[in-house]
Structure 1
Amino acid sequence: MMEDKDTTWNSLLKDFIDGIEVATNQLEKRDIDNIPGAKDALIQRLNTMKTQFPKNNGEIFYKSIDDKIQNSFFPDTRDFADAFKKILKSRTHEQDFVINELLNGFVASRTKAIASGTQVPVIDRLVEAFSKRNDFHIVDHQFYAMFGDPNKPRKYVKEHLKELVNLFGLISKELMVEKDLRKSEKKIYIFYTFPDEILRILEEKYIIIDEELGHAYVSEEFDRNVFICMFLANLSINRDNPEKIGGSYTINGISAIFALILLLSFMPKLSIEETHPILRDSSFESSNMSVIPKSWMMKQVIEPLFEPLIKIIAYRLGGGLWLSNVIDSEINKKIHSQIRFLLKDVNRWVLGELVRVEIPIFVEIANIFAEITVGTDSEAR
């Protein structure tokens, strides 16, 4: 009953339904059917969404966002290690590729703004640096050497590196040496590492003991996914503190990424004629791929749905605080546009058509849509 009285949620639902109406009208006016039946299939899907999504106060969104997306990527916990383990556990090979490419694309753009002095992707540099020591530590001067900008004052660099550390949930520690070897005087060293509870997980999962050589080293499986999971875990436990997660930039970027995932999940799976050349293409795997006609991704079709979905994701994940950060500013529009362009990087193009790889999160959300639709149809009969 409380949800029914949530005027903000009701308004967001209405905006999404209005967006469906706009997208449908745009489709009906245009000749974009480059695959027989594709236009009719999308219009039918949009009409179904228009009738089904408002039911039970947006039940589809609860199940898709609260149950599937949040459980896999933003666990509802205040325990960093617990969130990290749950996110790490939810990974699959296929899901790693699509989701991590989306997240990596976003994080790379975010960290590039922070650590502008490096040409190599920041996450890759972090993986390389932490892999060199089996205790997962980096001394501060190494950190400055990797990400510092010689053209900027040290204070500026220090502030931005602190933001980078916070973004991934890393911590800094101090080590006091009574006599420094060079100057024979007391010196305090600062090093960066993972929180203790995360270190225990990493040591168990990624440290390999070489019995013959008698030393331990970091496994090659220690990769960028660790830092993506750290980023998401940090986001999960600090979602009510924008300063600790990268502020409005992060909120808009993450909301846009998962709005795009929802949108792709809701697209209908087309039946392609047996004679269609795409089925003969060696890179197309009919068992785990489906075609999304390029024309569906036109700005006029996707945007009326995309913007309301961004706000819905923000509200479900971070409540009014996140929603208040998703304002229609030029900066936010640029972020949303950048995320939309990531679509071409994480999907494949086969003979000029966009191909959706059916990763688990897409399939699970599509199944929710199908179950609710079938259930409603059964009740109607």
Structure 2
Amino acid sequence: MRHGLKLAKLSRPTAHRVLMLRNLVSSLLEHEQVTTTLPKAKAAQKLADQVISWGKQGGKENWERANGFLLNGSKTLKPLFEVFAKRYATRPGGYTRVQRAGFRVGDRAPLAVLELVDNANDLRFENAAHTVGREMALRAKEAGGPGPEGWKQFRARVEANGPERIGESIAEAPELGKVTRQNVVKALRYRSAPVPVSEESVASSAELSGASPSDADAPAVDSSSSSSTPAVTTHPALLFLDRAYHHYLSTLATFSLSTASKPDPLRPIRQLSARLRETETSIERKGSPRPVVTVPRVGRVPRAGESTAGWAATEGDSERNEILARGGPISRAKGTFGREARKERSKTTRQGTETPAVPGDLADALA
């Protein structure tokens, strides 16, 4: 029986759907990250894992199969069978990851980032480094904490057994939370290939760890690069500590620059007084704001544009009777250009231009 073989239709015909997923997988292998809707990302994830498994297996048959599936074989076939096959040689599966990325503007469709794991811009790698740096900064901020020197002690301890065991050392660090340690292990478990970095970051990393760049443990130079300037590479775990240190300093700077907000009990009174003064001075202007109500309203309140002609006037409240006679808030905002004002002007005009009375005999003659 066909259990567990559900296929997402994606509201498209078969030919359209297959070509769309091939295009997504081709773009993913070219850029290592694509942003699309969540259902499309989940559907393309299965095909991407299958194509990467062809690259790991190698051989002419898998090469021809991948060449027939990918739409940009000239750009992706060589990385698929060389770079990605080497990167995921020890990983048993799960070569892609789907990360939710909010909602699309317009139709609110759920968006997601489909990416290859262990790529240069790995989201889990960066998020785990950010969390480690923030938790260490919070410990430094606490009263009686280790202070800024706590990071150097932490890094020297986790680097004591070599770069290959940094993930295991962080997993046993008491300074970090349980979930943070688990995420660090997931981010560094299968990352062993050297990562290209800039020379400035290598120098700062050496200064932070207390070693000189010329030591034996310094990052190696990749001589296989085709460019004239050799690329500097480092271990992914050391790069992880560098990124965590960057977030550590950024969080400490945020703490030092931010000031605690103090509640001002007189602020609402000052704001209300300013609005009342502005209302009193501009009550006769066109478009003046509605007076601020300082007490709860009682009874029926006119809505915007609502006619109040049939409402019963309140005895003893001349101000409310005048407001009800003038109309709703839109009529009051129009001022001299409102309907009531136009009626008054037209009545005054008719009274001023009234024709004189005609004598009786002349009226009979005209009749």
**Both proteins in one fold, TM over 0.5:** no
Q: Which structure is richer in relative contact order (CA contacts within 8 A, separation 6 or more)?
A: 1
Normalised by the length of structure 1, the TM-score is 0.25
- Name the one with the larger helix percent: 1
